[in-house]
Structure formats: C-alpha cells, structure tokens
Structure 1
Amino acid sequence: MSTSGTTMIGTRLRQARTAAGLTLDEVSVRLEANGHPLTKAALSKYETGKSLPRPSTLLMLARTLGVRADFFVREPTAQVEWRAFRKHASLTRSLQQKVQASVAQIVEGHVWLEETLNSRQRHRFPSPRKVATPEDAEAAADAMRKHWKLSDGPLESVTQTVEDNGCIAVCSSDVPPNFDGLSGWANGEFPVLVSSARPSIDRRRYNFAHELGHLAMNCSGLSEAEEENLAHRFAAAFLVPASVAKREFGEKRRNISMEELMLLKQKYGLSMQSWAHRAHELGIIDAPTHNRLFAQFSAKGWRDREPVEFTGREEPVRLKLLVLRALAEGVITPSRAEELCPGCTGEAPAMDNTTPRLSVRALRKLPPEMREEPLLQGALVAEPDYKNDAELTSFEAFGEHDLHV
C-alpha cells in the first residue's frame, strides 16, 4: 500500500479509537483479552503511519473499536471544522474529543449521501452577520427567519426547520451528561448542529437554535463568554421574536403568572424560565419582578423540572430518509445502511464485520465505491486459510512461457 494509504489507515484508526473513547493502553488490553496481543507502541506506529497493520489485525481492531473493517480503508468524505462547543466545565478534553470524533463519523456519512444523491441541490446558508450587542443578535435571528421564509409564529419543529434548510442536525444520546451542544462546518459547506438527546424536548429546541446562532453570527473580537451570551440571545429571539413576546405579554407588566408561562411554553416550545428571562431582557418586566419569578421557580422545585412539558417532535429524520432512499435505489447495501444509520432498516446492526457472499456478477453491479467493502471482507476471511494451508501458497507464479504451453 502507498504511503498515503498507510497514513489514511492511521488517521482512521485514531478517529475510531477517539470516537470509542479508548486510550492506546485500553485498546491494547482489549486486544490481549481477545487473543490478539498488540503493544501500545505498535498501535502508536499504526496511527502515525509508521507501520501498516495486517488485514487480520485490522479486523480485530475493527471489532474492538466498534466499526466495520472497511472503515479504515475508506477515504474520508468530510472534514469537520468545529466552531463552538457548549459544555460544562467538568467535561474533560478526552471526552470532548470523543464527542467530536463520534459526531464526525455520522456527519461523514451524511455528507457522502447528500453529495451522492443530491449533488445538484444545495441550500445557501446566509453569510454570518457581524454581531457585537444583544440587539445585533436579535436582528441576526430575525434575519435568519426571513431568509428561511418563516412566519413569526411558533416553530412546529426546530430540528425539521434547520434540516429543511440544509443543516445537518445530530441529536446524540452517546454523549456525557455534561455536554449540551456543538456546531461547525463540514467541508466548509454543510452547517452542522449537534444537541444532546438527554434533555427535554424544549431544551433540545433551544440547543439547536443556540448552535445555529454560533454559525449565523460573526462575533470576531469578542470573548468566548460574550459570544455565548449572544448565542443565548439569538436562540431566544429565533424561537420567540421580540414582536411576538410583546404581543403575548404586552409592552409593560408588573407581574406574570405561572399559568401564563405554562401556556406559552406549550405553545412556543420555550421553557417557562426562558420566557421569564425573555420578558426581562426585552424590558417588559423589571429586575425585581424577574427575580421574584425565579424565586418562585426555586420554591416550587421547578428550576430543574418544570410542571408542564412541550409536546413536539425534535428528532432529526434527514439522515434516515437519505439512507432509506440510497438503499431502495441500490446505492448502498443493507449492512452499509445500518452502519450509516443504526436501526434505520429495522435490522440489528451486524458488528461481526461479515458481509453476505456476492457473485461476481452481483459484485460488478455495485457502484465502484461499494466494491471495496466485500472485497476487503473476503480477503480478511481468506487470510487465515492462506496462512495455515501450505498447498495454497506452495506454487510458482505463472511466467510468460506458461502462456505458450
């Protein structure tokens, strides 16, 4: 294999290991337990491209890291540049890298499907607006709504809205509890918005709107904390424009009842506490009233769990639709479909890295990019036979004279 191929395998190994949240030592221990001893130093050489693993080693690494063997030899289709990472201070750097690597694998498959199936269809994401003040963030949120031709009414689904306008939305349950959201760009073209699947539906809506704000605003020259505050303002304004909040509350209020906040949450999918904060930041209520409302939230035990839930659908569906379309059109195999979107086909994902046998005719009918997988799997399966059966290897290669016998 060429040097570039060796480097690619190393890069993919490191990506898979990071996504699995394992250190080199931990991978070595697991391989040892499975009867395939490999030192940390050897693994490091594979990842840095200084050494090339044998097919049997790649197969064991695939099983250990929870990927298919052909993942290591498949050219990446997307490079993700992360723009913002919203998390608690307790989230370690290694866990941050795990989240980014695991999401990058999902995004890579999504981009490949988009470019394969919809190469001529592209949504234009507006250029980020220069933002420095809360009022600028409000304007940026209003501009995004107008760009996407949204009314000022409640958004039925924030997730569907961003997906319908060309964003890649990922709602992941495979993230730490202290992770909130993540945003970036895939290949400099596809906006990527990530939310944890753990919070309530209204929180997930807010997370996607918040990450959208990071991509819609240009906060150059501001601190990270200042940018976070402006992204919060963008999210609230995107979910409930200022004109809507004033229409619901009125221009000025001395007090707001909890019953009002409950109804507004159920109508707009914005939490009761965010509604109270929204009223304060727009000058509808003063600071003492705002503080009094939050004292009530605390007294009632509603800071962590509010008494009513927003009922809506905030699950990304774009990837599943793309996978099912590609499968129906014969662009991908069922096993590849399950790799791209586990559970999409209703079948349990096969993690034994096996592939159904294909005839030569069936193999030739596959798209070129899909032929490597069964060929590699066949080579991996056949390798032990060639290593252990001398009759398969104790022959001389054909020479030119053999053609004339």
Structure 2
Amino acid sequence: MRENTMSSSRLRSGDAPPSRFLSPSRIAIARQRRGLTKTDLARQLGVSPRTVNTYENNGAPLSRAGDLSGALSFPVGFFHLADCTDLSDAEVNFRAGRTTTAIQRKAAKAAGAIAMDIAGWIAQRFSLRAPNLPDLSGHDPRTAARMLREAWGLGTGPLPNLVQLSEFHGIRVFSLPALAEEVDAYSVWQGETPFIFLARRKTPERSRFDVAHELGHLTLHRNEDVAAAHEREADIFASEFLMPHTAIIEHLPQNPSVDELMEFKTIFRVSAMAATYTSHKVGWLSDWAYRQNCAELERRGYRHGEPEGMSVHETSRVFPQVFGSKHYLVADAAVELCLPAGEVHALTFSTALRMVGGSSVEPMVNVAARPVKLRLV
C-alpha cells in the first residue's frame, strides 16, 4: 500500500474557508457515504450531473451549502472545511465479497476519510501510543506472522481481543457503518499511522480473522499498490497469526475429531471451519479426516455460521474512554468536526453510547495537568 499524508493546508474545525467555494472532496465524500451517484445527487439538487461533477472537481458556490446539507444529511459546516484525506483505489485492499458493489466500496472509503478526521480530533486532545508495527515486506506470510507475534511478545498461545491488541500497538481501529460495512474490512497507512476499518456484520470469529488479515496487509504490503496476490498472502498471515503451526501440534492430537477441534476453536477464538482448514493445511489432518470433519461441521451448521461461537464482537477500549472521560462527549466531536453525531457513533463501535463502568483493568486514559491533555496508555 502506498503511503498518503494529510495536506498541510487542512483547516481546523471552525476556521474560515480558504476560497469562495465549498470543499470539492467533502461534497464527494458526503455523497459517497450516502450511497448516491452523481446523477442521484443532481436530481435532488435540481442540477445536471455535469454540474455535480464540477462541484466535486472545483468546489460548489457557498450559496449551495444549505442545499447540499439537506440532500446529504451533513451539517452545512462540513462543506466549508478544508478537503478530506483522499484514499485512492491503489492503496486500499478491500476484504470484500464478489457481490460488493462499487457504491459500497466508495461508501467504505468515504467512511474511512471521515474516520481520519475523528482520529485527528482525538490526537489533538489525547496522547496515543506511537505505532509499533514492523515492516515485514518481502517475508513469507507465515514467517511474518511469527515475527509479529515475537515482536509483540505474544508467544504461541491464544491471542487476546484483537481490536484492543491493535490499539495497544498504535493502530487506529474504527468500525464501518451501514452500507460501508459490506466490504467486511480494509486497512491503510496514513503517513506513519496505520488504520484498520472493520465491519461487524458477520460472526465475532470472522471479525477476529478480518483484523488479523488486515494486520497482514499493513505489515506485508505497506509500500505496494493493491495486487490480486495480496489477499491470499494476508489470509495465510491471518491463519498463522491466530493459530500458529506449533500451537496446533501442541493443542491437538493428529487427525483430531470434530469435538477436539471444537475445543481448540473455543480456546483460540476462531471459527470451527478455520481451525479444521488450518489443521489440514499444516498436515495435522489427513485428506480423509478433513473431508469427514467438514461434512460433520456442515451438518452441525458451521459452514455458514458459528452456532456455539463467541457471544459478542470484540470492541475498542479507546473510544469509551475518550468519550467517557468526563472531558469530551460524542456531541463535542460531532459539533467541532461538523458531523452528524450518528456518524461518530457508527465509526467508533457505538461504544460511546454506553458509560464506562468500573473495571479491575488498568485504564487506558490518564488525565494530565492543565490544559487538559489525556494520554492513552
């Protein structure tokens, strides 16, 4: 993936616009987030598609801000801010099915651009961990997965909450809202900061695999444009990262039964089919035993779901503490970034909707001396 850096001309929320025109990129971002084509937006505005194209290339007159706000359900101020980060197709590896449409992919990229605004807002008020993600380009995916486990001191055992593990190592993880979540997941480097965007429309086990898959992209493909081979490499990385070869040998007998695989998948928090497939791939399950186990798992309903799987999706520790810190609310971010509050909720795992309760776990947010500067640790 190619690196992309924020423009030094980005305005802070509330600053005056630099020209007599509304931001062209923000018009495009808002339209894509709503799943509209240029023709759709033109119809709502009562103009031609060519005019909308001009708006998205050169900016719209300031007088059209109210009309755009009404058509796209974004506050008027959103269109007055400096341009958003532009995520090009060449730098985004979508973990998406073949049925995912271009509109859904654009909605996902637009959500990512908005999330980067939120990330910038948080970074101005909190000290976040610096990214700790080695560049493993050129390594075999399985070797790279073992190297990342070693770099992070994870051994060969079951991994903890992968969203929180990623946050702990400086990766910014955001959830994908409706429409955008059809892509499942994607990741990108923004300058020196890695981002993962994650849907939660499938099983929690699948979501864990998606995070591991995106870690593979971030470590293996940082300076590369999207290529067909990358998806397969990231899948291999994810399997080894979640279920190391040595762990399978240590925890499972050779040619394990379905019940033994079920116990393993519960411990490692992976899907039953993934545990079965990986055991076969590393030679710990014969071809015959693999076919028998797959047939039994399909009979039990594991081909397209996880009947006895994890009860909840893994979520962030950062956002509940940012917005439950007694200093900031979601409404504060929404107002200052000129976003609908629902957009902020949707991109931050909706955890900000709940108060942060007591916990025996050391908090990730510490309050420093005035002026208020919080530190995520």
If the length of structure 1 is used for normalisation, what is the TM-score? 0.72
Matches within 5 A, 1:22-41: 22-31=36-45, 37-41=46-50
Distance 2:58 2:223 in 1: 37
Listed one character per residue, the Cα deviations across residues 94-115 of structure 1 (whole Å, up to 9, x for unaligned) are: 3211211122212321133224
Pick one of 152, 175, 185 that aligns with 1:171: 175
Kept in 2: contact 1:157–1:313 (CA 8 A): no
Q: Matched residues, percent identical?
A: 21
Inter-CA distance 177–303: structure 2 relative to 1 (3 Å threshold):
farther
Is structure 2 residue 99 aligned with structure 1 residue 96? no
Pick one of 52, 69, 82 that aligns with 2:76: 69
Deviation at residue 261 of structure 1 after TM alignment: 1.9
Distance 1:220 1:291 in 2: 39
SS at 1:277 equivalent: helix
SS at 2:58 equivalent: coil
Distance 2:86 2:324 in 1: 24
Deviation at residue 24 of structure 1 after TM alignment: 2.5
- Aligned match of 1:124: 132
- Aligned match of 1:20: 34
- Aligned match of 2:292: 292
Deviation at residue 183 of structure 1 after TM alignment: 1.2
- Aligned match of 1:106: 115
Deviation at residue 259 of structure 1 after TM alignment: 1.3
Inter-CA distance 50–86: structure 2 relative to 1 (3 Å threshold):
closer
- Aligned match of 2:280: 280
Q: What do you get for the CA RMSD once the two structures are aligned?
A: 3.4
Listed one character per residue, the Cα deviations across residues 203-239 of structure 1 (whole Å, up to 9, x for unaligned) are: 1001110111011114999994432222111111111
SS at 1:192 equivalent: strand
Matches within 5 A, 1:321-336: 321-325=321-325, 327-328=327-328, 332=332, 335-336=335-336
Deviation at residue 172 of structure 1 after TM alignment: 2.0
Distance 1:174 1:5 in 2: 33
Inter-CA distance 308–40: structure 2 relative to 1 (3 Å threshold):
same
Kept in 2: contact 1:18–1:98 (CA 8 A): yes
Distance 2:248 2:53 in 1: 56
Kept in 1: contact 2:104–2:183 (CA 8 A): no
Pick one of 85, 90, 94 that aligns with 1:85: 94
Kept in 2: contact 1:138–1:237 (CA 8 A): yes
Where does the alignment leave 5 or more consecutive residues of structure 1 unmatched? 32-36, 348-366, 368-405
Where does the alignment leave 5 or more consecutive residues of structure 2 unmatched? 1-15, 355-371, 373-377
Amino acid in structure 2 at the alignment position of 1:21: G
Kept in 1: contact 2:25–2:84 (CA 8 A): no
- Aligned match of 1:196: 199
SS at 1:230 equivalent: helix
Distance 1:345 1:84 in 2: 28
Inter-CA distance 193–49: structure 2 relative to 1 (3 Å threshold):
same
SS at 1:304 equivalent: coil
Distance 1:219 1:41 in 2: 36
Inter-CA distance 330–110: structure 2 relative to 1 (3 Å threshold):
closer
- Aligned match of 2:369: none
Deviation at residue 161 of structure 1 after TM alignment: 0.5
Inter-CA distance 11–333: structure 2 relative to 1 (3 Å threshold):
closer
Distance 1:49 1:223 in 2: 28
Listed one character per residue, the Cα deviations across residues 309-333 of structure 1 (whole Å, up to 9, x for unaligned) are: 1245512342443344494499946
Kept in 2: contact 1:6–1:49 (CA 8 A): no
Deviation at residue 142 of structure 1 after TM alignment: 1.4
Amino acid in structure 2 at the alignment position of 1:106: A
- Aligned match of 1:376: none
Deviation at residue 240 of structure 1 after TM alignment: 1.8
Kept in 1: contact 2:22–2:62 (CA 8 A): no
Deviation at residue 126 of structure 1 after TM alignment: 1.1
State the number of aligned residues.
333
Inter-CA distance 329–24: structure 2 relative to 1 (3 Å threshold):
closer
Deviation at residue 25 of structure 1 after TM alignment: 2.5
Amino acid in structure 2 at the alignment position of 1:71: F
Distance 1:50 1:104 in 2: 18
Query: Which structure is richer in relative contact order (CA contacts within 8 A, separation 6 or more)?
Result: 2
- Aligned match of 1:352: none
